[in-house]
Copies of this chain bind each other. A is one copy, B any other.
């Protein structure tokens, strides 16, 4: 009876409030920026400003005003998808209870530092504002070196929801939350139900999909909620999300084949609950969670087919720097890792990652990560590997601060670390849907750690009770038809992220003119098939799509002879060129391949297979801002050139570089006057794991004579190098290459005859990036 009276009282109050608040607002349709500005200026709570269908080009929208919780002011598209914001455009929001709905940013870039900014200026800041059902697609700066953010949060209680955001290839996190100033702390921002589509590799740092705060504001209580988002192939850098503030929550997100990790870089007391990390069978790039600092709770997460190592391990717990500077690495303390499932992952637990005591002669003392994780509980986790995983734990230092309790694995543990709290058991699992493996029955012997009673549910929201509980992320029973990823939860209700599959066509080429015309007419993906014979080309061929050029008769390869001084192939953004079974000849006045000098807004790719190149200046010449995902030479011969592949223009000390993967295999380099390859990365921060070079099974001879530094192959600062099974003969150099011992680089099975030597330097002296 008492309870009924109580509830009735509340209900009456609630209804009274609700009724008094309903207002009928105006709908105002606007067709150009002037009308829009006027409508914004005159708007009141409850108004609905409608952008007419069409292209809104070069518009900088300042949306300000004060709505109310019940009656926001709305700025919306007449029809979602039919209102596009293009050109040099952006949107700033300032005031309270403003909502932006259904805008589509494409075909342009912001003229300021942000596409969408939750403040207009320091006096007009957004609070309780919302951007929803919007798309930002490849709205990227023309110059990769120009930094911007696509959504920049300021103020408090703002929301980004049900948006689709993809294709940022320039510097700067896609989403950033700013916390400078008391107006911008305790934010409780909601970043929910978005679909973060592919972000390409950037080459170096500053390619996060999301960053919350920075080291200078890492002491602030941010309270940002990031939940129910899909991160799909967010490959910008090693940090998909860089959490740099306190009390952030990451719940129920899906990280799908994204080459990076959710990184607790600065700040403390994050909650990472119920997230799904999906790798694939062979990528070592796809990470999980990287832990730094104090007090994080990592619970109910599901890690599937992750193979990443060290910084990219499924669970990577770092060593800290004792008394770390603000912008470096604090010790891990008081973390809880409980009730997670690691399914078909390889060596999922890696501790003291980043330990670098051995490098104390090249690093200052304030860089030595020697502080091991302490007061950390790892409990009630499930490790299941269908093929067995005998080394579930990798340790880079002693493991003396981790309390392992009641974890189970189905593999024998042959790791150096064999805690009693990791128990090998016969475990029965079943796959109930794509990627979703569950225990056939609950494993109920769990550890009740301090405050564990606050972990009340599993990954699907099923209650954990003293009667029904289990190790791992999932408690039985699982509802019927359970699926791991429900795509309907993420992104807009109107934009299709599925690309129509294109069936490439073959274009026959039997004359110079047909080559040029065919290239112009081709759709991305098409194949130019060149008849045998020699073709003179007197202009640059512009490559701005995916094009294959190949010979009709592989045994009688077509020969392209370039006579212009301009580069043979001009690599443009998104240019994707495959040269296969072709002979390319220059006249020593031009480069074989060169990027644009500017506006290399997106990455390009270059593959040379079974081909011959001769008589060029450079094989490849690039501009500073350019970036290739892959440059590959296979089964080919390159000779009589001034220099080879020159990926050496990104020379800042910020960890950036001009290409992610350089693969040179089974090829011959002959009479290259200067260097065969120059692949450069400046600056040092071990957490930016950059640059890959494979140089295997090649023959290099009579080259390097005019090399400035008497070196044949330059790979300074590149982190991942495979240098094996090559033959070097009669190259008049002192050094063939310098490898970086601390990164595990070593020459394997190379033959050198009358050439310089291959040197291994344990620790490169590099300028620190910060």
User: Is A215 an interface residue, CB under 8 A from the partner?
Assistant: yes
Asked whether A13 and B9 contact (CB < 8 A) given A330-B326, A366-B366, the answer is no
What's the minimum C-beta distance from A662 to chain B, rounded to whole angstroms? 34
Q: Give A325 to B181 CA distance when docked, in angstroms.
A: 22
Please provide the chain A residues from 666 to 716 with a CB less than 8 Å away from any CB of chain B in the complex. Answer: none
What's the minimum C-beta distance from A675 to chain B, rounded to whole angstroms? 37
- A3-22 to B contact mask, C-beta < 8 Å, 1/0: 10110111011001000000
User: Is A499 an interface residue, CB under 8 A from the partner?
Assistant: no
User: Is A567 an interface residue, CB under 8 A from the partner?
Assistant: no
User: Is A450 an interface residue, CB under 8 A from the partner?
Assistant: yes
User: Is A451 an interface residue, CB under 8 A from the partner?
Assistant: yes
Asked whether A181 and B375 contact (CB < 8 A) given A10-B6, A325-B366, A330-B326, the answer is yes
B327-A326 in contact (CB<8A): no
CB-CB < 8 A to A12: which residues of B?
2
User: Is A293 an interface residue, CB under 8 A from the partner?
Assistant: yes
B295-A185 in contact (CB<8A): yes
In the complex, the chain B residue whose C-beta lies closest to that of A293 is: B219
User: Is A221 an interface residue, CB under 8 A from the partner?
Assistant: yes
Which residue, of A325, A450, A770, has the highest number of chain B Cβ atoms within 10 A? A325
Asked whether A182 and B336 contact (CB < 8 A) given A268-B219, A330-B219, the answer is yes
B2-A219 in contact (CB<8A): no
What's the minimum C-beta distance from A187 to chain B, rounded to whole angstroms? 14
- A214-242 to B contact mask, C-beta < 8 Å, 1/0: 01100111000000000000000000000
In the complex, the chain B residue whose C-beta lies closest to that of A179 is: B334
CB-CB < 8 A to A326: which residues of B?
323-326, 330
User: Is A269 an interface residue, CB under 8 A from the partner?
Assistant: yes
User: Is A183 an interface residue, CB under 8 A from the partner?
Assistant: yes
User: Is A381 an interface residue, CB under 8 A from the partner?
Assistant: no
Asked whether A450 and B182 contact (CB < 8 A) given A9-B2, A9-B5, A330-B326, the answer is yes
A6-B13 in contact (CB<8A): yes
A323-B2 in contact (CB<8A): no
Please provide the chain A residues from 268 to 291 with a CB less than 8 Å away from any CB of chain B in the complex. Answer: 268-269
Q: Give A219 to B330 CA distance when docked, in angstroms.
A: 10
Please provide the chain A residues from 312 to 357 with a CB less than 8 Å away from any CB of chain B in the complex. Answer: 323-328, 330-331, 333-334, 336
CB-CB < 8 A to A6: which residues of B?
6, 9-10, 13
Q: Give A5 to B183 CA distance when docked, in angstroms.
A: 39
What's the minimum C-beta distance from A68 to chain B, rounded to whole angstroms? 18
User: Is A649 an interface residue, CB under 8 A from the partner?
Assistant: no
What's the minimum C-beta distance from A266 to chain B, rounded to whole angstroms? 10
What's the minimum C-beta distance from A299 to chain B, rounded to whole angstroms? 13
Q: Give A182 to B297 CA distance when docked, in angstroms.
A: 11
User: Is A180 an interface residue, CB under 8 A from the partner?
Assistant: yes
CB-CB < 8 A to A268: which residues of B?
219-220
CB-CB < 8 A to A327: which residues of B?
323
User: Is A294 an interface residue, CB under 8 A from the partner?
Assistant: yes
Q: Give A20 to B292 CA distance when docked, in angstroms.
A: 47
Q: Give A333 to B181 CA distance when docked, in angstroms.
A: 8
CB-CB < 8 A to A2: which residues of B?
9, 12-13, 16
What's the minimum C-beta distance from A744 to chain B, rounded to whole angstroms? 30
What's the minimum C-beta distance from A307 to chain B, rounded to whole angstroms? 32
CB-CB < 8 A to A328: which residues of B?
323
CB-CB < 8 A to A324: which residues of B?
325-326
In the complex, the chain B residue whose C-beta lies closest to that of A328 is: B323
Asked whether A219 and B5 contact (CB < 8 A) given A326-B323, A326-B324, the answer is no
CB-CB < 8 A to A9: which residues of B?
2-3, 5-6, 9
Q: Give A246 to B324 CA distance when docked, in angstroms.
A: 18
What's the minimum C-beta distance from A584 to chain B, rounded to whole angstroms? 51
**Of B220, B331, B334, which is within 8 A of A295 by CB?**
B220
CB-CB < 8 A to A334: which residues of B?
181-182, 185
- A97-141 to B contact mask, C-beta < 8 Å, 1/0: 000000000000000000000000000000000000000000000
**Interchain Cβ contacts under 8 Å between A and B, 10 examples:** A2-B9, A2-B13, A5-B5, A6-B9, A182-B375, A219-B246, A219-B295, A220-B295, A323-B327, A325-B366
Query: What 6 new A-B contacts, CB under 8 Å, besides A182-B450, A323-B328?
Result: A6-B6, A6-B10, A181-B334, A185-B295, A219-B246, A323-B326
8 tightest Cβ-Cβ pairs between the two chains A and B: A6-B9, A323-B326, A323-B325, A5-B9, A323-B327, A219-B268, A2-B12, A182-B334
